Structure 1
Amino acid sequence: MNDFVSGSRWISEPEPELGLGMVLSADQRRVTMLFHASGETRIYARQGAPLVRVHFQPGDTVQSHEGWSLQVEAVREEQGLLVYVGAERELPETLLSNFISFSKPQERLFAGQTDPQRLFALRLETLEQAAAARQSELRGLVGARVDLLPHQLWIAHEVAERYAPRVLLADEVGLGKTIEAGLILHRMLVSGRAGRALIVVPEPLINQWFLEMRRRFNLAFSIYDEERCLEGGADDNPFLAEQLILCGRDWLTASPQRLEEAAAAGWDVLVVDEAHHLAWEPGAPSPAYLAVEQLAASAAGLLLLTATPEQLGPNGHFARLRLLDPDRFHDLDVFRHESQAYRKVARIADALLSYRPLDLADLDELRACLGEKAGDETLEAVSLPGADGEAARQALIEALLDRHGTGRVLFRNTRAAMPNFPQRIPRPQALPCPAQYAALPASLTPEREYRDADTPWWRIDPRVDALLELLAGGEKVLLICARRETVLELETALRLRSGVATALFHEDMNLLARDRAAAWFAEPDGARVLLCSEIGSEGRNFQFAHHLFLFDLPENPDLLEQRIGRLDRIGQSEDIQLHIPYLTGSAQEVLYRWYAQGLDAFARYARAADAVYERLRAPLREALNGRGDVEALLTQTATLREELGAELERGRDRLLELHSCRSQPAGELAERIADQDADPALAAFLERLFDHFGVDHEEHSADAHILHASERMLTAAFPALPEEGLTATFSRSRALARDDMAFLSWDHPLVNGAIELLLGAEHGNCALVAWRGRSPEEAPDLLLEAVYVLECIAPGALQADRFLPPTALRVVIDPHLKECSEHWAGELISAGCSDVPAAAVREALADRRLRRMLDAAAIAAGQHAEQVIQQALVRMQLTLTPEVERLRALATVNPNVRATEIDFAEQRIAELHQALSAARPRFDALRVVLKADVQADR
């Protein structure tokens, strides 16, 4: 009866919460199971599949999927399938209820297989900790290896809670759009809101994204290219082989077959970086735009990332919004008209936020915008002094935030609205151009064109001397230059001309080698200088350093900003020293002056620099080649910078900025995560799990530990623990400084895997103890402590565990079948009892009262479960009903609220009500307490 016959019913030992499974298909190697209740499909290797055949016996009561029950009187087999026979009807196993759950603690008790009570206590603690983690509002946010920046946390919290979110993340450079997208993805994946994700980026950013997702969020994306697709064979869709996929935009655009396959694979979330490169004009979309449009149409959720301000490209901005919701943004002219109305709202919001008085036109505009929401009393109260005026002002701002134009689909934080940015201190150094470079005045990198077999360039280049002088001061220095060859030759120069510890970081190094170099540079006593090629300007966080040596300057200002952005980040503790050596009389001096005098790009973030560059690229190159008028170029650049900067400031949308980061709740969210970081509960809990499973843990350094398998391991492999071991920390600050250390949190795969490993097996589910010495006077001669798990089996997208995670229900039954858990606390029993070998108390285990007490425990657990279910239903209604009402009201004035969002919210309440109501307790563990004198029988 252990054959995998199609239609036969099985249960997964490590995942009993999936409910009853059915064999869909089986061959010599694989078995495919469908778990109807949870909507999950699993594929197992036939050999060693962790599945147990469900086989009820006469006397058992079984339930059909239609809800009726049958007491089994006989069982027969028909073509490998079981048929349960009752008094008046029969029930084939194919029609069994999908919500049947199973457990074995009582079977182990009567078979004499018991565990130490410390393991019983650990199991109960694990159940409680797992429930708290799954119900936490911080789930999916706390485990990311990121600084606790309120604006990033706020966006992730807001977006990830939506049904199939489709939003544009448009923060300015340096504010962390990649991290925001990663936080959203991580929260959705951890909570079960999403299971499949596709990230599409420009090819040069593939490695950066791969590293960010793996290092910061423990998300293992598979990088797809043509070679990877060919590995799976020509007949299969390669995009169905993995759940998390990362690929290049140009590769997909150039291959209609791969694009079609990617679109057909279906995605819960699609992420597209550098969305401003998706060129679009009415009637003339670019191939890249069309490719993303095809993918976006088949994806439920969509995250577009761009730093390009909407004010500099209304057509492009409309095109991006059209990707998010083509039904809502269908006409460019209509969008332009609506945008004018949004500007009026934004202007009024700016007046409210700046405490400027509102004129009659402003009040009329508010009435037109908010309708009944803005009563005359509220509008009049805005001008009142004190608390009344402030309350009215805040009420109007809240109403505008909810109804403002593109506010629900667009998030844009600006540096102007963000505190805590460091100062940039430019330190230019005008250096004499070596005579050997005299023939190369138009080159920005003359060292690459210098030819002298006897004297290497680094012996005659004064920039090397300037670097050595800086390093003599003892500071850590990040150096970025354009070419890998320059990096290698600079390392030779420093090795021969100084004793400074040097690390390399360039594109020919593999990812692990670059990580190790960055980690060595991060160590206080590690490398003093990190020599990077241009790849060092992509995505890395080196904010623990404060000196940036720009050995050369890139022509593109966006690339310069990327370089500076390695240090110029929120959270930087000191001012940034920008060391800018340049050779006088060369193209380097022209480019330095263009940046310093024309764009003012060293001392501050130049918001309009990219737009200026696009317009003046040709005259800039003429000047670099020595053929243009440098002074005229500088004047033209400064004028254009002022004009575009003023245009950007006039278009600044304070309401949008406020919507993108609500400072008070965002700050509270960051504080709650910081409090959880500081809580030692996780470290203490994991130590007990490690001790049980045989994972050795030793101190590595302050706030860090080394974990590795020991000879006494209870399992062949421990989740997320590599064979070579793992260095880990519970300290967020240490994890941020050391990329080679794992950051352990309640979200980490090792923690969740360890919890599942314990709860998915029989560890601690049966304990047998007796009172030490004399029993307490009021103690009966027999107690049964039973632990049930109340489970709600539902599709992950419903997030039912927000309201009812697997919850431990503890009941204690005395010989009179009375429930007395309040009198006999678990800690009291543990403190007063010792383990007893089952062999020494065979007669006690044969006591018929035990079986009656087990039946009474099941009844008591069912009563407790009903109370918990009712509480969960109330929490669900109180949480979700106001949101539905808000969306309905909001949809009447803000068309960005999609009808599908409202439909989903209403349907989610109905489905959750059904799923929560169907939750049933599952017997998980028991502890039997005997009188003291049984110990003499040992």
Structure 2
Amino acid sequence: MLGYLVQHRLFGCCKIIRIDGRTVEVRLCDVGGRRLFSLQAFEGGDFKRTTLHAGALAICSHGQCSINALVDGDEAGPRHYRVIYEDGLGATVSEIELLPLPASLTDSLPARLLQGRTDPYALFSARHRLLVALARFNRQVGGLRALLASRIDLHPHQAFVAGTVILDPVRRYILADEVGLGKTIEAGIILHDLLSRRPDARVLVLTPGPLTRQWLCEMHSSFGGQAFKLADLHPIQSVDLSRWSKVICSTNFALDGLDEDLLAVPWDLVVVDEVHHLLNAPHLYEMVEQLSRSARDLLLLSAIPVRRRESELYRLLALLDPRTYAKDGTGEEAFLAIYEAQEPLGRRLNLLSHDLTDLESGEATNKDVIERLGRLLSLPILQEDEQLQALLAAAEAEPERAASLAREAHLTVSDRYRVNRRILRNRRERLISQDRLPAIIRMPTPLCYEPDQIEGEAVTAAEAMLAALAADTSLSRDVLRPFSRILLQALVDPIATLDVLVAVRDAKAATVNSYGREMLNAVVGLGGDRWTVQLHTACAGVKAHVDPRLLSAGLRLASNWRSSQSSSARWDAMVSLLRGEIAANRKTLVFAGFPGVAQRLATLLKDVFGEKSVTEFRSDLDDMTKEENVRRFRTESNVSIMVSDESGGEGRNFQFAHSLVHADLPWHLAVIEQRIGRLDRLGREAISNQVISHICVSAGAWESGLFACYHDGLDLFGTSVSGLEFALRHLQDEIVDAALTGGQDEMHDLVPRLQAIAAEERVRDDSEALLDEASYHAARAERFMHTPSPGIETALEAAFLDYFRVLAGGKGVSRHESADGAEGLWCLRPGNVRHGELTIVDKDAEGELRKRIGTFRRALAQRQRDAEFFTYGNPLFDAVVESLGHRLTGRTYAIVCQAAGAISFIGLEMIVAARPRLNASDISPSLLNLADAIFGARRRPLFVPLIQGQKVDGQQLATLRTSLSAKGEGPRWRDLSGDEVQQFVRRVDGDLSTCLNRAMEHDIPAARQVFARELAEPLASERKRIELQRRQLIEGGDAAGAAEADMLERYSALIDSWDIVLDGIGFLAVNIRG
């Protein structure tokens, strides 16, 4: 047995090199390396003896040789081969002396056929049916697979944004849709497209701490089951970026010491969420700027400033394109020129749009449109644009074409003369006006209560301690403000208040450095994985400045409040409200954001309303418990209340709740939007056209002044924060400063100023027009809105399962019972695959041998988020699809069949395909998408008779061959061994090699001419589109545009130099007697 050659079901050809008791060491000849196996593996069928085929290469003591023929050998002893050395000499050698070289060095489809190593026809046929099903699936979106592959039902504006980026060779964009319109979904689809094309791509998602778990959940459940690592869940010293290719990291965790490691990785795509917060965080801004310089692609999810904030916009663009928008560079002058032109451009574009609409209704003439177009093009910034001026000249020469030419000019100006073509931003107001979205009304309802004496005294003591700290000019406001927000929100609850004061008492005074101050002020909301660090840092920073007497008084009064047996006036008011909600059969989501308060509040509400009426969503619960609690809240009629800490505000969908209660009032403005956004989401109209917020407010405390600032000053509960994002940090600082210096009176006095700031920040003018037009185009969006029909889904399901069954055997596929009894769940076992190991990127601890439960049906995947969605981007699905084109398995056959009415035929079937010379590793995924749309399904069979001149009916043979069934239906057929093929060939005095050479010389070149005629029009259209795009990029004059133009030129050359490839080959004998 030692030295024998064996075949492993996964690793191919192996050689036994050592036996030690019951342990056998083998060398993996095909895939490289060595492995240990138990002797039981050889007894149980994982291995079998193998014979080297003629032409195989091997190494022996005299050097490299090729196998000429098997001389002798049986199961009992070693096999001997006739070999030919490189110098032409021959010898007979035992397999014990031979070390086979990898089969890939000599293996090919023709070689397999000639050597009699064809696959079963069932495998060939299953692969063919899967390729056909995939081609039909892909045609629905012209190659944009990611748009079909998510579980999300996309709105047109989301599909347009994602599709625009996916088709761009340079995926560097600012995604700036207003709050609640789905920026995360858009980014997820783009990211999903990259990973479906390049499963091993390195991706970093950098986001504020409260949003990390949202990203982790969305990537896993909505986009193909991608296995991201959340860095924050690991000790910083155990984060191994050399092994982690897909990483989600919070900005604070990055600042804690991971920044250098992150900058050392050559990321393929970096996604940064809530980028506008970085403008006030210099260390984070610098880190993202460095990531931008090194990463190939970049997505910045950010609000963008409205008018009068050009410096903030320039700094955002400097993150997107650091070279063009460098500090003190020429780019700034060009930016300011086009920035200042936005308002007149927008105004005249809008007027042109009105005239085009009036022309359709007969209220305007072609002359009116031409005059309006002339007014637009008279603007100084457009006067030198030869293409636009040519459109005006054409309209003046042919007035009957004025409408189409004016629309082309409108699109050109919108695309070329907005501030930056890589900003995409949709506004809710505009989508509502176009009937693309329904209007949702936000309705705030204050729930005011009078605190009892013991609560009032404790709150007053804490406020007095803060006021004293504010008077200390040596204490940095960047430390005082974060600490104040923590303590002021803690005043909702005696235990929370006492916890903060005890933390101050026990803290060791320290000076907070610039990184620490940035971390404290970058935090949005309280709690989460970094809560302890946040609390201790803030307490250490203020400790040296705290008046010990005020701290002692605060501790005593807070302790008294905690020990008091009287009920809480705040909770009494909330219980009264909730009784009414339950009586009205309304589900209510209650937010208690300060860490620990949600758990205590839930316990109280369970005591009042019963254990089964209340459920919880807290960061300290495990994921399965949280999901089960959400399911009960959504589906069970007796569960009326869910109490959540701030983790429930992290992107979760709770739109099925009827109303919202703010049990505490955060001093971070953005947290209010996060909470309301759980209900005010796309699709809310299915539940209600309203979102009602009940806000608990303590009369007489600073909290009442905070409510006045939020409600009366900023309309925070009635209107989204869209438009205020760049003022949020400044606004919340002003609010807390007013509280610290003058209490609730000064906060009320601040309201008129807040109203004026909000009105100014939210104002919209004609400068929005260009960005509005470029960020959503209804006609173009239609291209991206196709979803697979149920028939195409089920056809893909059937074809995929048939192919996988052949690969993995009968036990590789089984039905899985769905929780709701629905059909369409399957259990797949990749460990059972016999024809070589699947290359699955996301391996588990067991080496991806675990079973995978999922569905091919989108509707079922949307309902059952715990099941995998077997589609593009799913690691197992991608591995199987990848195997179709990169492995020789399933691409050969040899059969004989009897078919009544068919003409006799003996010869070859060759499946040929047209393929561009594109490699996924060296060209943008967007260009692969475009090439797929042109070349994706271009395969055709060629039937080559063994005897030249034999009559061939290709259509009849193709129909016959694809009709063959393994179930005994239709024509009778069977697989042929290599020896049987040679017997058929000799019977007609034929020669397979001669037939094959004839096909290569004549039939395949003829097929190329057919493909060339089919491809002429789509390739010409693509070249024209590329040339126009290249010219515009070069005229733009920036470095990024020039780089993209070079990439497009290379892509154009590659698709023009397409090849004919042999995708499959078979020996077919029809109505030939054996």
> Could you say which TM-score interval applies, normalised by the shorter chain?
0.7 to 0.9
Corresponding residue for residue 246 of structure 2: 244
Quick one: which of 637, 643, 651 aligns to 1:539?
651
CA contact (8 A) 2:28 2:35 kept: yes
- CA pair 926-517 structure 1, distance change in 2 beyond 3 A: farther
Corresponding residue for residue 295 of structure 1: 291
Corresponding residue for residue 352 of structure 2: 352
Corresponding residue for residue 268 of structure 2: 268
Corresponding residue for residue 605 of structure 1: 720
CA contact (8 A) 1:484 1:533 kept: yes
Corresponding residue for residue 126 of structure 1: 130
1:743 counterpart = 2:869 = yes
Quick one: which of 556, 577, 587 aligns to 2:668?
556
- What is the distance in 2 between the residues matched to 1:627 and 1:843? 94
Q: Give the SS at the match of 1:920.
A: strand
Q: Give the SS at the match of 2:128.
A: helix
- CA pair 566-29 structure 1, distance change in 2 beyond 3 A: farther
- 1:456-492: CA deviation from partner (whole Å, max 9, x where unpaired): 6499522123123213333333332213423222332
Q: What amino acid maps onto 1:213 in structure 2?
A: M
Corresponding residue for residue 471 of structure 1: 582
Corresponding residue for residue 277 of structure 1: 277
- What is the distance in 2 between the residues matched to 1:252 and 1:793? 40
CA contact (8 A) 1:608 1:645 kept: yes
- What is the distance in 2 between the residues matched to 1:86 and 1:873? 47
Corresponding residue for residue 325 of structure 1: 321
- Equivalent runs, 1:605-684 vs 2, <5 Å: 605-610=720-725, 611=727, 614-615=730-731, 617-619=733-735, 622-623=738-739, 626-646=743-763, 649-650=764-765, 652-670=767-785, 672-673=786-787, 675=789, 679-684=793-798
Corresponding residue for residue 883 of structure 1: 1025
Corresponding residue for residue 387 of structure 2: 373
Corresponding residue for residue 219 of structure 1: 226
CA contact (8 A) 1:746 1:752 kept: yes
- TM-score (ref. length: structure 2): 0.70
- What is the distance in 1 between the residues matched to 2:270 and 2:831? 44
- Equivalent runs, 1:724-803 vs 2, <5 Å: 728-730=854-856, 732=858, 735-756=861-882, 760=887, 762=889, 765-766=892-893, 768-771=895-898, 775-780=899-904, 782=906, 785=909, 787=911, 794-796=918-920, 797-798=922-923, 799=928, 801-803=932-934
- What is the distance in 2 between the residues matched to 1:906 and 1:227? 44
Which structure 1 segments of 5+ residues have no match?
A: 4-11, 16-27, 34-41, 61-70, 75-80, 88-92, 233-237
Give 1:321 shift.
Answer: 1.3
- Equivalent runs, 1:921-932 vs 2, <5 Å: 921-925=1062-1066, 928-930=1069-1071
Give 1:560 shift.
Answer: 0.8
- 1:745-802: CA deviation from partner (whole Å, max 9, x where unpaired): 355334333445677474585363533xxx4244327575554666667421442555
- CA pair 228-905 structure 1, distance change in 2 beyond 3 A: farther
Which structure 2 segments of 5+ residues have no match?
A: 4-8, 13-24, 38-45, 58-65, 70-82, 90-99, 357-367, 464-487, 498-560
Q: Give the SS at the match of 1:579.
A: strand
- CA pair 654-926 structure 1, distance change in 2 beyond 3 A: farther
Give 1:580 shift.
Answer: 0.8
- CA pair 738-545 structure 1, distance change in 2 beyond 3 A: farther
- CA pair 643-503 structure 1, distance change in 2 beyond 3 A: same
CA contact (8 A) 2:912 2:1064 kept: yes
Single out whichever of 731-740 and 539-548 deviates more from structure 2.
Answer: 731-740
- What is the distance in 2 between the residues matched to 1:184 and 1:327? 24
- Equivalent runs, 1:306-317 vs 2, <5 Å: 306-311=302-307, 313-317=309-313
Quick one: which of 410, 427, 433 aligns to 1:397?
410
1:894 counterpart = 2:1036 = yes
CA contact (8 A) 1:770 1:833 kept: yes
CA contact (8 A) 1:72 1:86 kept: no
- What is the distance in 2 between the residues matched to 1:229 and 1:870? 56
CA contact (8 A) 2:829 2:850 kept: no
CA contact (8 A) 1:787 1:811 kept: yes
- What is the distance in 2 between the residues matched to 1:410 and 1:100? 49
CA contact (8 A) 2:176 2:183 kept: yes
Give 1:812 shift.
Answer: 3.8
- What is the distance in 2 between the residues matched to 1:656 and 1:539? 26
Quick one: which of 786, 811, 833 aligns to 2:942?
811
Q: What amino acid maps onto 1:139 in structure 2?
A: R
Corresponding residue for residue 408 of structure 1: 421
- CA pair 382-516 structure 1, distance change in 2 beyond 3 A: farther
Give 1:432 shift.
Answer: 3.3
- Equivalent runs, 1:376-455 vs 2, <5 Å: 378=392, 390-419=403-432, 420-435=437-452, 437-439=455-457, 440=459, 445-448=491-494, 449=497, 450-452=561-563, 454=565
Give 1:326 shift.
Answer: 3.1
- CA pair 102-458 structure 1, distance change in 2 beyond 3 A: farther
Give 1:262 shift.
Answer: 3.6
Corresponding residue for residue 338 of structure 2: 338
Quick one: which of 972, 982, 1003 aligns to 1:834?
972
Q: How many residues align?
A: 864
- CA pair 122-634 structure 1, distance change in 2 beyond 3 A: same
- What is the distance in 2 between the residues matched to 1:327 and 1:795? 28
- What is the distance in 1 between the residues matched to 2:398 and 2:821? 56
Instruction: Please state which structure has a larger fraction of its residues in helix.
Output: 2
- CA pair 545-704 structure 1, distance change in 2 beyond 3 A: farther
1:856 counterpart = 2:869 = no
- What is the distance in 2 between the residues matched to 1:381 and 1:781? 63
- CA pair 13-467 structure 1, distance change in 2 beyond 3 A: same
- CA pair 277-425 structure 1, distance change in 2 beyond 3 A: closer
- TM-score (ref. length: structure 1): 0.79
- CA pair 453-503 structure 1, distance change in 2 beyond 3 A: same
Give 1:125 shift.
Answer: 0.5
- 1:356-375: CA deviation from partner (whole Å, max 9, x where unpaired): 98497644117834633234
- CA pair 247-313 structure 1, distance change in 2 beyond 3 A: same
- Equivalent runs, 1:1-80 vs 2, <5 Å: none
Give 1:728 shift.
Answer: 3.7
CA contact (8 A) 1:884 1:905 kept: yes
- What is the distance in 2 between the residues matched to 1:891 and 1:287? 33
Give 1:423 shift.
Answer: 1.6
Give 1:45 shift.
Answer: 6.8
- CA pair 186-370 structure 1, distance change in 2 beyond 3 A: farther
- The percentage of aligned residue pairs carrying the same residue is 23
Single out whichever of 832-841 and 258-267 deviates more from structure 2.
Answer: 832-841
- 1:305-337: CA deviation from partner (whole Å, max 9, x where unpaired): 211425363223212212322332233344323
- What is the distance in 2 between the residues matched to 1:13 and 1:867? 40
